[in-house]
Amino acid sequence: MTEHLYEHRYTAGILVGVVFGVLARLTMLRTDYRQYPTYPHGRIIHISLGVIAAALGAVAVPSLFDRNYTAITFLTVAAQQFRDVRNMERNTLTKMDEMELVPRGGTYIEGIAMVFEGRNYLVIFTAFVASLFTILFNAYWGVLAGVAALLVAQWFKTGKSVAHAADVEIADVVLDGPDLFVGDIYIMNVGLTADRDVIRDRAIGLILKPKNRNCRVTLANLGQRQAMLHDLSTILGVFRDSGEPALVPLGKLDIRDGRLALFVLPQEKDAEKARQVLLRVPLLESAVRMPSEAGVQKKGGA
């Protein structure tokens, strides 16, 4: 039995690698409140791409052991394919965004597209590790290595949320004549009496206090603000229709201290639930800034 497994170790390695690669993609594929990827066809597309990525990662190991280094060049083809996946997601979401009452914004879309590309590389990594240990040792070690690689992939798949960057508190929405404030932060001028009546009845105000100067710059990013407004509107609903600019959710910055005020008009008026939703909004990689890491900010910097 042992000799038989040794003779077919490449086949066993490929099978174990593909299985764990597909498992990695399945665990990283979730249709949540954003309804993306769509079910069932959007999920079928991404599962199929996950199978391809798993096969590429698993087959790479036997190619290396046989010193068939030219066969590894197909990984460059895979990289191009997954870049095309990123472009596909970007174009699809951009088209969908035109029909949203509260759009995601370009920064959020780019972040989602980047995630879909990156997760295929995590699938390749998982399949490669599981296949490598199966061929080097045996299937039992391959399974253990595959489980460890799955845990690593799970750790890398999740990023930070707004809770890591700011404290969120509920604030009063105040109308001083036509001027709209959230707490003491000015939002906009509301001219129509009917719009002011809707705001008095439905509006929720939230204020984010950045935890440090890096977070202050990150929260000032327009793409990050739009992502917060979109997630709040998606989960709690939005009390407006097209052609009503005065009822569009907005975020405004207090230039003096970096606080960010959000004005929203949800279908479900629950301020505490809105605060919890906001804390879970993803912190977009494209929006993160770290001015404290600049050389001029450090002691002795040139």
At 270-297, the pLDDT tens digits run 899 999 999 999 888 888 777 766 655 6
- Does residue 134 lie within any of the structural domains? yes
- Does residue 194 share a domain with residue 126? no
- Does residue 48 lie within any of the structural domains? yes
pLDDT class of 166 with cuts at 50, 70, 90: very high
- Does residue 197 share a domain with residue 148? no
Q: How many domains does the chain have?
A: 2
Q: Is pLDDT at 123 greater than 60 in this prediction?
A: yes
- Does residue 212 share a domain with residue 97? no
Q: How confident is the model at residue 36, as a pLDDT?
A: 74
Q: Which domain holds residue 12?
A: 2-158
- Does residue 198 share a domain with residue 72? no
Share of the chain above pLDDT 90, in %: 31
Q: Which residues contact 284 (CB under 8 A, 6 or more apart)?
A: 107, 108, 111, 221, 223, 224, 227
- Does residue 296 lie within any of the structural domains? no
Q: What is the pTM of this model?
A: 0.83
- Does residue 71 lie within any of the structural domains? yes
Report the distance separating Cα 93 and Cα 81, nearest Å. Answer: 18
- Does residue 198 share a domain with residue 141? no
pLDDT class of 116 with cuts at 50, 70, 90: confident
- Does residue 150 share a domain with residue 212? no
Residue that terminates a domain, selected from 95, 126, 158: 158
pLDDT class of 299 with cuts at 50, 70, 90: low
